[in-house]
C-alpha cells in the first residue's frame, strides 16, 4: 500500500514530462470582440476608427470610394450600412444568428477533427456535448440546443462517413 507521502518513481522514464494542455478557452470569439465584414473579421476598435473617419468630414459622411481606399475590408455599400448599425448600437451590436451558427459549426469541425486524429471514437452525444460547450464558452447563441437533427445535418454538411468515425 502506498502512503500519501510516498512517491512512485519509474526509473526508466524519470525525465519524462507531460505535454502542456492547450485548451480552446483562449480563443477570442469573433462575435464578441470582432465584427464580420464579408469574409474578414474586424476588431471592434478598427470598426470604431472607420466610423470616426466616416463621420469626420464637413458634409456628414465620406464616400464609399474613400472608405474602400482607407479600409480594405470595406468593399461594398452593405459594409457601410453595417458600420452605421454598429455606430447606433455599439456594445449591444451582435452578429446574425446565421453567422454565429456557421462559426459554431466550423469550431465543432475543428474539435472533432482534433479528437479523431488522437484516436477517439465519437458518438452523437459527444458531438452534442462539444457543440453545447462551444456555444456556452464562445458563441453564446440564444436557445441553441444542438438537437439530434442539427447534429445529423452537421454530419451531412461536413461529409462524415462511417469510415471516419464511430457515431451511434
- Give tens-digit pLDDT for 21-37: 555 444 444 446 678 88
Q: What pLDDT, on a 0 to 100 scale, did the predictor assign at position 137?
A: 84
Q: State the average pLDDT over residues 16-25.
A: 55
Higher pLDDT pick, 69 / 34: 69
Residue 90 and residue 78: Cα distance in Å, rounded? 17
> Across residues 54-70, what is the average pLDDT?
89
Burial bucket for residue 139 (CB in 10 Å: 0-12, 13-18, 19+): buried
Residue 39 pLDDT: 77
Three-state SS for 57? coil
Dump pLDDT digits (tens) for 136-145. Answer: 888 788 889 9
Q: Which grid coordinates are listed for 114?
A: 482534433
Distance, in Å, from the CA atom of 51 to the CA atom of 44, rounded to the nearest integer, reads 10
The Cα 73–Cα 46 span in angstroms is 10
pLDDT digits (tens, 9 = 90+) for 104-130: 998 999 999 898 888 888 888 999 999
Centroid of chain to Cα 58: 39
What's the mean per-residue pLDDT of the chain? Answer: 79
pLDDT score of 133 more than 60: yes
pTM of the model: 0.51
How high is the pLDDT of residue 40?
A: 82
Amino acid at each position: 500500500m502506498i502512503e500519501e507521502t510516498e512517491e512512485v518513481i519509474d526509473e526508466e522514464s524519470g525525465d519524462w514530462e507531460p505535454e502542456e494542455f492547450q485548451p480552446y478557452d483562449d480563443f477570442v470569439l469573433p462575435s464578441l470582440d470582432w465584427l464580420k465584414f464579408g469574409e474578414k473579421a474586424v476588431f471592434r476598435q478598427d470598426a470604431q476608427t472607420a466610423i470616426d473617419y466616416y463621420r469626420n468630414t464637413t458634409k456628414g459622411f465620406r464616400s464609399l470610394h474613400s472608405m474602400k481606399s482607407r479600409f480594405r475590408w470595406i468593399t461594398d455599400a452593405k459594409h457601410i450600412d453595417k458600420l452605421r448599425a454598429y455606430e447606433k448600437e455599439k456594445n449591444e451590436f451582435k452578429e446574425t444568428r446565421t453567422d454565429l451558427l456557421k462559426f459554431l459549426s466550423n469550431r465543432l469541425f475543428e474539435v472533432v477533427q482534433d479528437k479523431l486524429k488522437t484516436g477517439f471514437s465519437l458518438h452523437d452525444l459527444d458531438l452534442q456535448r462539444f457543440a453545447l460547450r462551444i456555444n456556452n464558452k464562445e458563441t453564446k447563441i440564444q436557445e441553441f440546443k444542438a438537437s439530434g437533427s442539427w447534429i445529423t445535418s452537421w454530419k451531412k454538411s461536413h461529409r462524415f462517413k462511417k469510415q471516419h468515425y464511430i457515431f451511434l
